[in-house]
Every structure is written in structure tokens, then in C-alpha cells.
Structure 1
Amino acid sequence: MKIVIAPDSFKGSLSAMEAAEAIDRGIKKAIPETETVLLPIADGGEGTLETLVAATGGSKKKTAVTAPLGNSVLSEYGILGDNKTCVIEMASASGLGLVPNEELNPLVTTTFGTGELIKQALDDGFTSFILAIGGSATNDGGAGMLQALGIRLLDEKENEVGFGGGELNKITSIDVSGFDERIKHSTFLIASDVQNPLIGLEGASHVFAPQKGATKEMVKRLDNSMMNWADEVEKVTGVHLHDKPGAGAAGGIGGAFQAFFPSKMKRGIDVVIEFTGLYESLSKANLVITGEGQVDFQTASGKTPMGVAQAANTLNIPTIVMAGSVGTGIEVLYQFGVVSVNSIINQPMSLNEAMEYAPQLLERSTEQVIRSYFHNRVYNKQGGLVL
């Protein structure tokens, strides 16, 4: 019997690989002779770089860049096993995790560091890029990234504006004469599930800025500034980002890629599935086990358990989902080959306790799920499982 183990991370407690290893231990306790394939997965957000590098036998390079608040931070980019493709995880340069909660402020946070990562990779000779743009702390429309790559954003006095979404309303012209020429000779695959436009009630500022520290008043200011940004970008590029699907991704950096880069956007989980070779691993599998920290109605929008289940379902392979916690709206998952969604919590406990004991909880709950799932199977005289 073959089981493919393809979880995402359980944020704050287990990396994707640690989760896969815990699930594997649980399976082996229930049915020791099971063949297992461990394939950690991510959905285009945090952990994507690590997953792709590990899956392809690649490497990483560290470099100092500008953090969202303008200070320096040691970041990194990944190099896939082909030694040709660079993976950049926006969160490592411009992410929420780099800003203390009390200092979150999308009026001032910048994507400059993400641009510096791209520039460093270009300097190192890369022309093929995968950008995972989840988890940003910014709402600057990608302006900071463009500044790092040579574009000048000028006010009415022809002075360059500062960092952050609050500066976008000051821009009266965009000087692209210094834009890094290497960009147009490169390719950029943007891993993002977001289809939101740049501005309006469904745009970057209204939908995502509150998660990054914006008050209601700040949201209005940011959206107005983003309108000016979209107008100025259209004057230079001819691209109308205002209501363009995906332009609002990651505080509007999706729009910057659409307007200034030779790029295409693809669902994050699909990018990871392609580069990790999930379909090849599913060959002759009898079951798939996936999971992540929280499974709820948002999971169906392209999170790891949904993407893995969809892939397995095309081959008529059932999927079991393990979760730190289970919320509402999971019923849609059952339409895509998911046979059960299981919380690893086995008794009343605090969140801190659940995170501390996550490896043991995941291992134990997986063992019980496997025993239940195969309860009607029988063993032959040699102790082997007969399917």
C-alpha cells in the first residue's frame, strides 16, 4: 500500500516537512509496512521558497535588504535544482513577520526590499523567476519594488517621493528611463490566488490593508492614493490596473508586475504542485493525506488541502485532511475527493498547548484516522495488509 503525505505547514508550530514526518510516524504505527512518500507542499504564501528548494534539490542565498519599515534585514532567495530558476518569497523581504504588531502601518511600509532581492538575483545572472507574493505588510502598489529597480516616482516639484502607500497620492510623473533593462529579458511567474482589483471596495486597500494595521480612515486614504497611482501607471504603460483582476494582490504589487514586467499570474498551489512533481508521486497511490493549521471555508479558495485533493481526485485517489482546527464551510471539500477532515485536538487545551504538542497530536490523530479508515481490511498470514 502507498500513501502520499502532502501537508502544508501548521503555522507557528510545524513546518510542512515536520508535519509530514509526524503524519508518517502515525501511519507507520498503524500499518508499519506502508510505503509512504513525503512531499511537503505550500500554496504560494510563506513556506513556498523552502518547499520548492527542498523538492528540487536546490539551494538558497542570503542577502541584506530593506525591510518594510526601512531598516535592514537579512533575507534570502531560492535557487531551484535546475540552477536556472530563482524563487523569491515576498514575505522574507516585505512581510508581516518583519514588522512588530504595534508598528504595522501600510501608509509607510515599502516593497523596496523585494525589489532589492530581484536586483540581486539579476546581478547573479538569473532570468527566470518565481515570485510567491503572500504575507506582505505593504500597500504601496509595488512602488517601492519599482524604485529599487531604477524607476523614479516624482512629485510636482520633480522630487522623488518617499516610501509607503501614503506617498502614492503625491506622484505626478513616473520616470522609467532608469528601469533595469534586464527585466524585459526575463520571465516572472507570480504565484498568487488573489483576483481582487487594485482599487475600490474589493481592492487592495479595502480588503487587505486592515490586516496590515490600517484604520478605516487610513483605508480611505490608501484607496485614494492607489487611484492616483493607477492613473499615473496607465499614463506610462497604457495598462488600466484600476479594475484589473489580480492587480490588488499583496497590497497592489500584483498590479506592478502586470504593468511593468513580462509576467503571468498562476494559482500558488498549482505552481507548487507543478514544481514538486505531485502528480508523479501520486502514481499507484492508494491514499493521500494533507493538512494545515486551520481548515475552513477559505481552504476551498486554493489553499494546500484543496489543491492537493483536486490533484488526487483527477486520479480517483481519496484524500484525508488533518487540521489543527476545523472551522465552518468545509463541506465543499467533499466534492473534490476529500473523505474526511480531522482535527488533531483530542481534549480541551489552550492554543499554546496545542502548538507546543502539535507533533505528538498530529502523529497520534493520524494513527487513529488510519486505523479507522482501514478497519475493514484484513491481514494475511504473514501480517501483510490485503486491500
Structure 2
Amino acid sequence: MTRVVLAPDSFKGSIPAAAAAAALRDGWRSVRPADDVVLRPIADGGEGTLDAFAAAVPGATRMPLTVTGPAGTPVDTAWLLLPDSTAVVELAATSGIELLGGRLRPWDASTRGFGEAIAAALEHGVERLVLGIGSSASTDLGVGMLSALGAGFVDGAGAAVPDGAGGLAAIAHVDTAALRQPPAGGIVVLSDVTTPLLGPSGAAAVFGPQKGIDDVARAEAGLAHAASLFPLDPMVAGAGAAGGTGFALLTWGARLVSGAEEIARLVGLVEAAATADLVVTGEGAYDDQSAAGKAPSVVAAAAGAAGVPTALVAGRVAPAVDATAFCAAIALTDLAGSADAALADPARWLRAAGARLAAGVARVA
């Protein structure tokens, strides 16, 4: 009997991590029904972070609320209350790019809803914040979030600047007198990137085009100007996460950690991998950014430390990317014949991938 641990991230915009793991399990068991299949879905601070904590922490409670979405329209969402009075708030569920419905808003998308959810948790009286900041829709330096937490951003005439990247260059003064204080237990930020705020590897240059930014120089100038109004080095690692939300949170006293590593610890991935014969991980797109702290690289490292091989299942695997850390790599686009077909029914093709991996184990055995 083979013991296999299934630890995928979500396939963004397609299927959540828990459902992806279940589909892989069903495919595996269609070929090897007697095997011990252990599910450890994971996240890296983006979409699925709340689900990972909810599944791993007994007594976690979802706290529903409505916030201002990234496009300025209401979004029904929730934050998670843990039994130790920690609040988990996920940017993807409040200000995430998936909430735009495919219509990018590069200059006015905002993190205001994320700040509103954090404020709601503070109003509840939580003692600690855990904030997942992946999958953001905006490049607003976290100004929307800070505004919702009480900070003021005004132009030279004293008028409030509009939300989004488009308003950053107009900020003349930042008033933090009414900014809420962090909770006594501190703020831990789960991030999947360590990029600085500015420069060729910064928020505008690397992630701006993914969010529809068509003038990187303009976005860079806005970020640089607004950041100059804060006493923090914009080149510090992680400041560029979530369109500069990492920078804003650092100014608020937060501590940034690897989201995938923290969640892997929470769900007991290391312990599960240590007794496995094979670990399977995955995400929507495995590319040159995946090795920089995203879930598959963290899972592979945990399994490798235990001497256990890791297989990769991804929606697509970029042609030139180095996937040598994995004993096998399967792209759903290859199984389905096209990206559109894979996206139309990801569970079907994840089951097919699970069956193919199990068949490979059967041939080896």
C-alpha cells in the first residue's frame, strides 16, 4: 500500500485547494483504491487562506460582513475568528482580482474592503491579526486599506484623493492621527512574494501588467511619491506585495512571513510528508515566479527534507520553467487539449491527473 499526500494550492479562478485535493484523490483511488491518501490542501496567503485555517483550526468561526469591493461595489465576505482571539483576514476575499469578474480596474481598484474587514475584526476585540495578502486587484500602496482604518490622504487643496493607483500622485499629506492601533498581539502578514516596492522587480513592473496597468512608469511614479510620505524604505523585502499593501502594513507595524510556509506548518504538512511515499502539489500556473516562495516550492522543499519525491499538477506549466524539483509534472492543459477546456471542468482533469499519477506508481510497483 502506498501513502500519498495531496497538498495543492487553489487553481486561481478555477477551483479551490480543498476541491482540487479531493479531485486528485478521486482520480488516484480510481486506479489504486487501497492506497492511503491524505489531503493537506494549502495556500500561500492568497485565495484559500481562510479555508486552510478553517479546516486546520477546530472552533474557527466565520464572521460574515459586507465590504467595499475592489471596484467600489459591495462584496459579501467573511473574516475568520480563531479560538485564541486571532482574526484571519484574506485580501483575496475582500479586494481580490477575482472579484472584478475579469474586468480589470488598474487605476481605481482599491484595498478599501480589506481595511474594512480588518476594522470589523478590531471592533470585535481580537488580540491578533493574521492577514493573507495574495491575489490583489490593485496597485494602490494599501492606501485604501489604511483609509478604512482611519488614515487620511489629501491633495494640495485638502480634498480626499480618489481610491486606487490613479490617486497616489496627488497625495500631498498623510494624516495618521486617527489610524487604528494594531492589536496587542501584533500583526502577521502571509505573503507569497518578497519583492520590493519599486524598481524592475517591484510592484508596478512585475505585477502591474497582470492587473491591467498599461503605463508602468506612471504607476511607479505614483508609488514612489506616496511612499516618500512614510518613514519606511520602499526597497525592503515584501514591500511590493499586493500592489504595495505589504509596504502599508509594514508601516502599521506588521511582520511579513512566507504564507505557504506558515500554512504548511499549520496543516501539519511536514509531519504528513515524513511518512509518505509520494507528495503531490499544484497550482493554476507553474511559472518562473512559482519557485519564489509559492506553495508548490514550499511543499517540494518540505517533502525533499524528508527524502520523499514530489509530483506537480498545474493548470499549465510554463515552457521554459525549471520543474526539475519534481519527479513528475502534469499540465491540465495538456490533458484537456486546451486551456479553455481545462478551465471549463478543472475537477475532471484533476481526476485524470490523479489517475495518471497513480498508474505511474502502479507501473513502478
Using structure 1 for the length normalisation, give the TM-score. 0.86
Q: 1:149-298 counterparts in 2 under 5 A? A: 149-181=149-181, 183=182, 185-216=184-215, 219-234=216-231, 239-241=232-234, 243-261=235-253, 263-298=254-289
Amino acid at match of 2:224: M
Q: 1:306-385 counterparts in 2 under 5 A? A: 306-331=297-322, 333-335=323-325, 338-344=326-332, 349-377=337-365
Cα distance in 2, alignment partners of residues 96 and 78 from structure 1: 20
Cα distance in 1, alignment partners of residues 101 and 334 from structure 2: 33
SS in 1 for 2:245: helix
Cα distance in 1, alignment partners of residues 347 and 362 from structure 2: 23
Q: Call closer, same or farther: CA 1:283–1:154 in 2, change over 3 Å.
A: same
* Rg (Cα) greater in structure: 1
How far did residue 101 of structure 1 move? Answer: 4.2
1:64 match: 66
Q: Call closer, same or farther: CA 1:340–1:68 in 2, change over 3 Å.
A: same
Amino acid at match of 1:356: A
Amino acid at match of 2:197: L
Cα distance in 2, alignment partners of residues 252 and 209 from structure 1: 11
- C-alpha offsets along residues 92-112 of structure 1, whole Å, 9 cap, x if unaligned? 21121222544x333222211
Indicate conservation of the 8 Å contact 1:96/1:135, yes or no.
yes
How far did residue 344 of structure 1 move? Answer: 4.2
Cα distance in 1, alignment partners of residues 191 and 360 from structure 2: 36
How far did residue 253 of structure 1 move? Answer: 0.9
How far did residue 353 of structure 1 move? Answer: 2.6
Cα distance in 2, alignment partners of residues 376 and 143 from structure 1: 55
SS in 2 for 1:108: coil
1:42 match: 43
Cα distance in 1, alignment partners of residues 290 and 219 from structure 2: 28
Q: Call closer, same or farther: CA 1:343–1:154 in 2, change over 3 Å.
A: closer
Amino acid at match of 2:150: G
How far did residue 376 of structure 1 move? Answer: 4.1
Amino acid at match of 2:289: Q
Aligned residues: 363
How far did residue 226 of structure 1 move? Answer: 1.8
Cα distance in 1, alignment partners of residues 267 and 72 from structure 2: 34
Q: Call closer, same or farther: CA 1:206–1:300 in 2, change over 3 Å.
A: closer
Indicate conservation of the 8 Å contact 1:312/1:318, yes or no.
yes
Using structure 2 for the length normalisation, give the TM-score. 0.91
How far did residue 300 of structure 1 move? Answer: 1.6
Q: Call closer, same or farther: CA 1:233–1:59 in 2, change over 3 Å.
A: same
How far did residue 368 of structure 1 move? Answer: 3.0
Cα distance in 2, alignment partners of residues 315 and 71 from structure 1: 47
SS in 1 for 2:349: helix
- C-alpha offsets along residues 72-118 of structure 1, whole Å, 9 cap, x if unaligned? 221211234x342211111221121222544x333222211111111
Runs of 4+ with deviation above 6 angstroms: none
Indicate conservation of the 8 Å contact 2:274/2:303, yes or no.
no
Cα distance in 2, alignment partners of residues 16 and 172 from structure 1: 43
Cα distance in 2, alignment partners of residues 362 and 112 from structure 1: 35
How far did residue 164 of structure 1 move? Answer: 1.8
Q: Call closer, same or farther: CA 1:329–1:188 in 2, change over 3 Å.
A: farther
Amino acid at match of 1:37: V
How far did residue 270 of structure 1 move? Answer: 0.6
Cα distance in 2, alignment partners of residues 345 and 198 from structure 1: 33
Cα distance in 2, alignment partners of residues 312 and 364 from structure 1: 23
Q: Call closer, same or farther: CA 1:375–1:119 in 2, change over 3 Å.
A: same
Indicate conservation of the 8 Å contact 2:105/2:211, yes or no.
yes
Indicate conservation of the 8 Å contact 1:44/1:271, yes or no.
no
Amino acid at match of 2:222: S
Cα distance in 2, alignment partners of residues 323 and 97 from structure 1: 19
Question: Kindly, what percent of the aligned residue pairs are identical?
Answer: 35
Cα distance in 2, alignment partners of residues 180 and 27 from structure 1: 49
Unaligned runs of 5+ in 2: none
Indicate conservation of the 8 Å contact 2:150/2:179, yes or no.
yes
1:381 match: none
1:77 match: 79
Amino acid at match of 1:228: H
**What is the RMSD of the two structures over their aligned residues, measured on CA atoms?**
2.2
